[in-house]
A and B are shown apart, each in its own frame.
Chain A
Amino acid sequence: MGVVAATAFLAACTPQGSGTPSGSSAFCDDAKAVGSADELGDKLTTCNDITSYNNFYEFSYGKEDVANLSRNFKTSPWTVTVGGLVNKPGSFSVDELVKKYRPEERIYRMRCVEAWSMVIPWLGFPLSRLLEDVQPKPEAKFVRFLSFYDPQQMTGDRSLPFPYFEGLRLDEAIHDLAILATGLYGKPFPPQDGAPIRLVVPWKYGFKSAKSILKIDLTSEMPPTFWSTLSPEEYGFYANVNPEVAHPRWSQSSERRIGELRRRPTLMFNGYDQVAALYKGMDLKNFY
């Protein structure tokens, strides 16, 4: 009878859809975006999908489990410290940042390196405005982001080198498309989407857009990044969305838009051609 027990056990082990977590549907009940599509006419991904399908490894490898596991994540009070090679370093509460920079809706496509994508109405403000105010020194060339990590509240795989760290070149960081987001669908973030404040860089793969940011530092050297440290031959510093450069193990030429049946072709820079000038003269096959 052991075989039978094992069959039943293994059947029970296949991943089960956990359904829509109550937390996210409560969030979405009164969530409302101003716009309904991005500049290409692509319709918004539903609020339920955006808040129930999250890559947030600090909590779990299971995208559909994050909403539930993060529901008690404490995101207030929260202070972001900006320092490094700047003239006016400082610490700012998220409330202060919101008051000062007045987040507005930005509808961006978000392309995950796993070849799926969403269209998300963020609430955010240009990162450049915060950076202007802290006055980068002339020798500052890069921006480093450090995410929050507390193993007490975050129950994901502890063998990963958290806290998460990411980086941008300074000229990328001050591009108008790069924002610090504090919410989506007209409301402050629920925990699973990177509350209370995260980076959003829409022309790069989703993992560049670090969640739950605690520290922003300006540096003269290119900072190491989480994924390029773990797996340098698979993930680079730039990580621009590029259908021509395949991930070593899977193609990046097409993607599944969440909520759609057919795959769609992936666009260079995720359709944000206005950033192409940042990479003039660079071979993006080498700088992936």
Chain B
Amino acid sequence: MSSNRQIAVIRVVLHVSALLPLVLIIWDLTRGNLTANPIREIQLRTGATAINLLMLSLSCTPVNILTGFKPVLALRRVLGIYAFFYASLHFINFIGIDYGFDFALLREDLFEKRFAIAGFASFLCLLPLAVLSVKKVQQRLGEHWQKLHWLVYAAAIVAVIHYIWQTKADFRLPFTYGGVLIILLAIRLPVVRHLAERHFKWLDKTAP
């Protein structure tokens, strides 16, 4: 398969698997399978899916750095948009369904509680990226887009902090996400990039 064909196949699988968690939520909702507390279950699932997709989006560049497989970079945008999509569901479920747009209650929870502030901040970081991610806008932004993209790192860091802060007892999984995120960000450091590039040059030279 050419790498273009490969990426086309990957794209289809990606769209299907990114929409699958939503389909499962709707399916389980209609069948009453979302535990005794469906609103919380929806909150947990949309949050988990958003953070998973965000981490996947952030793993594209490291995959490229470590393997030299360039087409993977084309997936960053779509993964990021899906992450934002689930983050929006997560946010709407929280303020609209859980709190029924009761702003007096929300003021207390959203603006006084650090886990909620962190979650909201992460959402706000993703918002401009999602809005401006239309390809034409992206092209017009040019180098500014690169600068703006630092927001995605901020969004991911704050999202993991949000996850850790809302955890009551079992910190194994949230800390694992923190660890993975640190690795994903570390691979982007110039030192690592440089070493990887040298490695590929060496591979090219020694290839038969």
Given that A4-B10, A262-B100, A263-B98 are known contacts, is A17 also in contact with B35, CB under 8 Å in the complex? yes
Within 8 A of B (CB), among A99-130: 114, 116
Evaluate contact between A19 and B33: CB separation under 8 angstroms. Answer: yes
Q: How far is the CA of A103 from the CA of B88 in the complex (A)?
A: 49
Evaluate contact between B35 and A53: CB separation under 8 angstroms. Answer: yes
Given that A15-B45, A263-B99 are known contacts, is A7 also in contact with B13, CB under 8 Å in the complex? yes
User: B35's contact among A13, A52, A250, by CB below 8 Å, is which?
Assistant: A52
Given that A1-B10, A17-B28, A61-B170 are known contacts, is A249 also in contact with B165, CB under 8 Å in the complex? yes
Evaluate contact between A3 and B72: CB separation under 8 angstroms. Answer: yes
Q: How far is the CA of A87 from the CA of B165 in the complex (A)?
A: 47
User: A10's contact among B44, B52, B105, by CB below 8 Å, is which?
Assistant: B52
Q: Interface code A249-262, partner B: CB below 8 Å = 1, 0 otherwise?
A: 11101101011011
Q: How far is the CA of A256 from the CA of B94 in the complex (A)?
A: 12
Given that A3-B56, A4-B10, A14-B45 are known contacts, is A263 also in contact with B36, CB under 8 Å in the complex? no
User: Within 8 Å of chain A (Cβ to Cβ): is B59?
Assistant: yes
Q: How far is the CA of A1 from the CA of B60 in the complex (A)?
A: 12
A residues within 8 A CB of B49? 11, 14
A residues within 8 A CB of B52? 7, 10-11, 13-14
A-B contact count (CB 8 A): 117
A residues within 8 A CB of B39? 256, 261
Q: Interface code B1-41, partner A: CB below 8 Å = 1, 0 otherwise?
A: 00000100010011001101100100010010111110111
Q: Interface code B83-117, partner A: CB below 8 Å = 1, 0 otherwise?
A: 00000000000000111101001001100111110
A residues with a Cβ closer than 8 A to B are: 1-4, 6-8, 10-11, 13-17, 19, 45, 48-49, 52-53, 57, 61, 63-64, 114, 116, 157, 160, 230, 246, 249-251, 253-254, 256, 258-259, 261-263
| 8 shortest interchain CB distances as A-B pairs | A53-B36, A49-B36, A10-B52, A17-B33, A7-B17, A64-B35, A14-B48, A4-B13
